[in-house]
Every structure is written in C-alpha cells, then in structure tokens.
Amino acid sequence: MSADDKTSTEDKLIARFFAPLATHPGALGLSDDAAFIKPPPGCELVLKADAIVGGVHFFNDDPAHAIASKALRVNLSDLAAKGATPLGFLVSLALPKDIGEAWLKSFADGLREDAATYKCPLFGGDTVRTPGPVMVSVSMFGSVPEGMMVRRAGAKPGDKVFVTGTIGDAALGVKVRQGAAWPLSDAQREHLLSRYLLPRPRSALAETVRHYASASMDVSDGLVGDFAKLCRVSGVAADIDVARVPLSDAARAVLSADASARETALTGGDDYEILCTVPPSKVDRFRVAAMAAKVAVTEIGTIGEGEGVRFLGEDAKPLVFAHGAFSHF
Amino acid sequence: MSADDKTSTEDKLIARFFAPLATHPGALGLSDDAAFIKPPPGCELVLKADAIVGGVHFFNDDPAHAIASKALRVNLSDLAAKGATPLGFLVSLALPKDIGEAWLKSFADGLREDAATYKCPLFGGDTVRTPGPVMVSVSMFGSVPEGMMVRRAGAKPGDKVFVTGTIGDAALGVKVRQGAAWPLSDAQREHLLSRYLLPRPRSALAETVRHYASASMDVSDGLVGDFAKLCRVSGVAADIDVARVPLSDAARAVLSADASARETALTGGDDYEILCTVPPSKVDRFRVAAMAAKVAVTEIGTIGEGEGVRFLGEDAKPLVFAHGAFSHF
C-alpha cells in the first residue's frame, strides 16, 4: 500500500514473459491499457471466467507450467462444451512476493504452449501481489455462429445422454496424490495423477456439439451434480446406467480394489469432459462426427419427462450418494 | 481439496446475490456455464482485466460495497480512457472462509448499484475459496466503432496534454488513512479518503476522448509514471507544467503544510482520471465537448519531439522524483 519504485518490475515482467504471447494484433503487444477484438462475421462472442487458487484447485508445489495450463484448460473446456471456438483470453495473476523468475518463466511457458495449441492468444490482464497463495483468473472469449451457443437448458425427453473420454480419473488422482494406497501399476498411478494435473479439454468436439447436441456442459464438479444441474435447468428427468459410465483402466483397477471409490469417481469433479444430450434422430451423425474428431463418446442414459436424475446400479436400483457433487467453493 | 456437499452453497449464493445483476439476455441469468454477446453493428469489443487484492489495493476493513465498486470502477476507468462504452463484465471472486452473508450482501449491492449506474451488467464469473485475502478479478468488455479504440500510442509533437478532475487525492487519502497528521478540515480529510475508497471513472468523457484525443490512458499508477509510458509508446517527449496540474482544495491544503507531499500527489497513483493528448486543431472542440459532458479538463503541458518527459517546477526547472511511479505489484 506504499509507493515504491517497482513499476518497471511489472513492466519488465510483462515485456519479458507475457508480451510474446500476445500474438493477436488487437492485443497491441500488451503495450496499451486494453485490447480490442471483433467476432468473425455472423458470429457472437461466448464469455467465460474461471479462476484457480493454490491449495484449492491445484497443489502449491505443482509445476508452474501445469498451473498455467490448468487455468487455461478449465476455461477451454467450457468453451468446447458450449460449441465455441476459442479466440483469446485475459489473465489476472496474483503472486506471492517470493515467486521467482524460474516459476514465472515456467508459468509463461505453460501459457504459451497452450495458447498456441488451442489457438487462443493472450489479450491482456494484470499481475498483482498477494499475501495469499497464487491465484490465476482467466477470462476467455470464443465465437459461435450467432444464436448457436449450446446451453445447459435444451435437453428433451427421449434425448440420449453422452459423455466424452472417461469419468473420475482426476478425482481419483487427487486421492492418489494425497496418499491413497490402492494397488495400481506405475502407469495407472501416473494416468490418474496426470488427469488431475492437466485437464484435457475436448476442444476437438466443439463443432460436433454445436451441430448435434440439444444441451451441453462440461463436467467440472462431478458427473452426478453437474448432470443434475443440466436436467434441472432443462426441466427434464433422466436415468443414467452407471455400468455404462466410461472408466479408464486405472479407475477400474481402483474400483475393483475399493468399491467406495465409485462415489468419488462419479461425484468428485475435475473431469473436464463434455456431457451432452443428443436427439435420437441425430445420434448416428453425432457418433460419426465424434469419431472423425477423434474424441471418444459414450452413451450413458436417456432423458425422460418429469424431474430428478437416477443413477442406476447393476441391479437397476438408483444409487444414493452421500455427497451430491464436488465444490471448490 | 476434499469432496464435500457444498455445491448448493455456491449455487444458492449465485442465485441469491449475483443472478439479479445478470440483466442482459446473453447472461442467461447465470444459469449456464458461459454467456454470449454481440457487439453493436459496426463496433468491436474493447477488453480489459484488472484485479484488486485485500491489503494491496484496498484495506481489508473497507466496506464490501466499496470494494465491489472499486473493482468495477478501475476497469470502467480504463474503458472510458479508451473511448469505449461499457457492455458488461465477468467477475472472479476469491473469498476467505469466514466471509459472512452480510459482507456478501453488501458486496452484491455495490456491484448492482454500479452495474446500473454505468449500464454495465454482470455476464458471469465464479466464486472460489481462498486461504488468502479477498481478491476480486474483473474482466470488462465495452464497445467502440471499429478501429476507434483510443490508444496510448498516438501522441504527436504539438499536441496538448489534458487531464480530467484532480490529481493526487487518492494517494494523499491513503496517507491520511495511514495516520498522516496534516492540518485538514473534516471535509478535506473526507474528500481525500473518499477519493481513495471510491474511484470516479470519467465514463462521461469517453465519447469526447474518442472524437478528439490522439492518445489516452487512465492515471492509475501516478501521473508521472503513466504519462512517461504514454510518451514512450508514442515515441515523443513532453513538458508538463506542474503548477497547472489540477489539485483539489484538500490536496492544496496538504501541499502547503508539507511540500514533500507533492511527490506523493504526482506519483502516488489511484487517480483514475483520464490523461490524454489533443491535437491543437481539436482543442477548442475538445473543451466544449468536455464541458457539455460535465467533466473538468485541464491543459497541463505540450508534446514535443524526441524522448523524455519533464515535469517543470515553478522555476521552470525539471523536478526529480525519488520514485517514478506507484506500483501495486
């Protein structure tokens, strides 16, 4: 709160680490107070902000480049689920005083690599000191043809429920990180840990979702809780066949050793998979397009009339979960 | 980092405190993962992100509604300086565990009032727990006619330098808050304190800036340091007549009691005034338009060729400052 001669510190930091990521002309090389952008013709912007905090959304000793990637990817995941193409992002970075150059270089490397991979350049932001842990707030904007953002509301009775990839890996990965003693191979452990460390947004499926899904969201707070939200806002009910929920080999290994881990997998969150509903008439085309996009999709249930979501176990009886969903809050 | 049954906590908090601020149809009442917006025809979006942290940008015991207002206004100030009209904002709010409902209600009241005043509704965001202090990250987007965002780069030799309002009040207000024993009336103390607590973005001047300014930025890190940045990126030099820098009665009272406070006023920051340059041929129209917008503007110097900014004292000799500019970093 006192005046001191550090302007040049932030300016140099921005010039050295962040300006090289500002590749869009509207970012003005981060030399201005703001940036500008125009959505492509016939398109509108999709807007999303999601922040991650040390000790809450990542471990404080995670590699800085992975923290940067996670901050971008949790937002990229939302854009993909909405059927949007990334255009760019703003970042507010709160740093403890003892963060060194090596950390910053690694962080900027992570941002740069993902910005390039996902074609989502930096448009601006700011860097502030905090007496607390690292916090990375990303605001991301993408584009969709006007009126085409795929919403949570929109599921209709008869629609089929699909999910990408596999569910539960990241939530089980947190437990492994915290010392859970499950009998896993090194590769299985590594799979679960890496799924927590680095979300894999299903950006390749965005266009397919936009063309064929009636409702869509990404799974960040757990399949059970997130799907309940989708059904609630769509005004529908649903049955999910738990046996069909896609699991990785590693997750299967955990579940055969520890049946109680099933609830962690289904409610634990940090999946960053796409959960969407597809009208029966479009299911075949959806599957073909997903295959062309090289994203695995699995049908796990059907939308019905009424309200409430049932997760049916192998005896076709609804499961009851102690915890509805993971919350970072 | 553990799963618990708090999804509904965040959902209820959003529904109760924040959904009522999401008045734009593209915000979908905060019931979705993302929002959408289309800039007005012929316009592009101006993007800005600025975060504030407890103990760094505000005092932790500041009223929550003032913290909310400050978080919006530091961004509104940037948009105004860029000649942009606010369209909306996203907010990431990091809260300590012991924040209660009264604080949240006050915070939401502050956001709502300013969102209404500045016609800048909430489009989304997220709420996260932090073991650190409150942090409010706002990303704001506004619109300008395509290609018309006013940049820092653009000042030309011969242009006149203008600043809105008065300079130094907030920086002196921080000192008062911290116990500086200057001989001030209650009204003067209150003026300085309130200027720190609540920035007053010059949104009313945005259109005038857009029409007449060759370069523009807001003063957030102190007049001296910020103007040096504007000149550097414009590739010009300048002379500022310190005697013409507009001061409030309260600031004048401080400076007559304590000459050393002049440096605080000129370099301390948190002014959130607009600093712009105007070509000589447009100065008259600029003044008339500013008067019509009811924003005081003062000519304080002239742009020249070369590089370097001189702040000339009453003897016409350049002042030397111990600290170039305030930095929150």
pLDDT digit string, tens, across residues B192-241: 999 999 999 999 999 999 999 999 999 999 999 999 999 999 999 999 99
pLDDT, residue A294, reads 98
Q: Residues of A with CB below 8 A from B81's CB?
A: 33
Position A89 confidence tier, pLDDT thresholds 50, 70, 90? very high
* Cβ–Cβ gap A33/B322 under 8 Å: no
pLDDT, residue B324, reads 58
- Where are the domain boundaries for CATH 3.30.1330.10 in chain B? 7-145
CB neighbours of B161 closer than 8 A, spacing ≥ 6? B227, B238, B240, B275, B276, B277, B299, B300, B301, B302, B303
> Hey, CA dihedral for A100, A102, A103, A107, is it positive or negative?
positive
Closest listed residue to residue B214, CA positions, set B276, B133, B135: B276
Q: Residues of A with CB below 8 A from B56's CB?
A: 1, 128-131
- Closest-approach residue (CA) in chain A for B263: A3
The kind and range of the H/E element at B68 are: helix B64-81
- Average pLDDT, integer, range A291-298: 98
Check: CB of residue A144 under 8 Å from CB of residue A84: yes
**Both tokens assigned to A273:** 């998979």
* Cβ–Cβ gap A92/B94 under 8 Å: no
Write down the residue that tokens 């105007």 correspond to.
B278
- A2-61 per-position pLDDT tens digit: 333 345 677 888 888 999 999 999 999 999 999 999 999 999 999 999 999 999 999 999
Q: Is A251 on the interface with B (CB under 8 A)?
A: no
pLDDT, residue B321, reads 87
What CATH number is given for B160-312 in this structure?
3.90.650.10
Q: Residues of B with CB below 8 A from A34's CB?
A: 46-48, 78-79, 82, 84, 149
Question: Is the confidence at residue B10, as pLDDT, over 80?
Answer: no
* Cβ–Cβ gap A137/B49 under 8 Å: yes
CA–CA min distance B214, chain A (Å): 14
Helices A64-81 and A101-117: crossing angle in degrees, nearest 10, is 30
Q: Residues of A with CB below 8 A from B55's CB?
A: 1, 131
Residue A329 vs residue B193, higher pLDDT: B193
- Closest-approach residue (CA) in chain B for A81: B33
Kindly report the CA angle at B280 between B275 and B282, in degrees rounded to 5?
A: 80
Alpha-carbon A74 to chain mean position:
3
- Closest-approach residue (CA) in chain A for B148: A36
Contact residues, A window 121-140, toward B, CB-based 8 Å cutoff: 123-133, 135, 137, 139
DSSP for A116-161, written as a single string: HHTT--EEEEEEEE-SS--EEEEEEEEEEETT-PPPSTT--TTPEE
Position A324 confidence tier, pLDDT thresholds 50, 70, 90? low
Contact residues, A window 81-110, toward B, CB-based 8 Å cutoff: 81-82, 84, 90-92, 94
Report the CATH superfamily, name and number, of domain A7-145.
PurM-like, N-terminal domain (3.30.1330.10)
Question: Is the confidence at residue A292, as pLDDT, over 50?
Answer: yes
* Cβ–Cβ gap A90/B132 under 8 Å: no
pTM of the model: 0.94
Rounded to an integer, what distance in angstroms lies between the CA atom of residue B98 and that of residue B125? 21
Q: Residues of B with CB below 8 A from A9's CB?
A: 327, 329
- B115-170 per-position pLDDT tens digit: 999 999 999 989 999 999 999 999 999 999 999 999 999 999 999 999 999 999 99
Pick B49's closest partner by Cβ from A92, A171, A326. A92
Chain A / chain B CB contacts < 8 angstroms: 275
Q: Is A42 on the interface with B (CB under 8 A)?
A: no
Write down the residue that tokens 């860097």 correspond to.
A127
* Cβ–Cβ gap B45/A51 under 8 Å: no
pLDDT, residue B175, reads 97
Q: Residue B33 to residues A82, A217, B137: CA-CA distances in angstroms?
A: 8, 7, 18
Rounded to an integer, what distance in angstroms lies between the CA atom of residue A192 and that of residue A182? 12
Q: Residues of A with CB below 8 A from B38's CB?
A: 39, 44-45, 146
Question: Is the confidence at residue B2, as pLDDT, over 60?
Answer: no
Pick A4's closest partner by Cβ from B135, B153, B327. B327
Q: Is B169 on the interface with A (CB under 8 A)?
A: no
**Both tokens assigned to B288:** 């008339």
Check: CB of residue A134 under 8 Å from CB of residue B131: no
* Cβ–Cβ gap B3/A217 under 8 Å: no
Q: Is B6 on the interface with A (CB under 8 A)?
A: yes
- Where are the domain boundaries for CATH 3.90.650.10 in chain A? 160-312
Rounded to an integer, what distance in angstroms lies between the CA atom of residue B267 and that of residue B262? 9
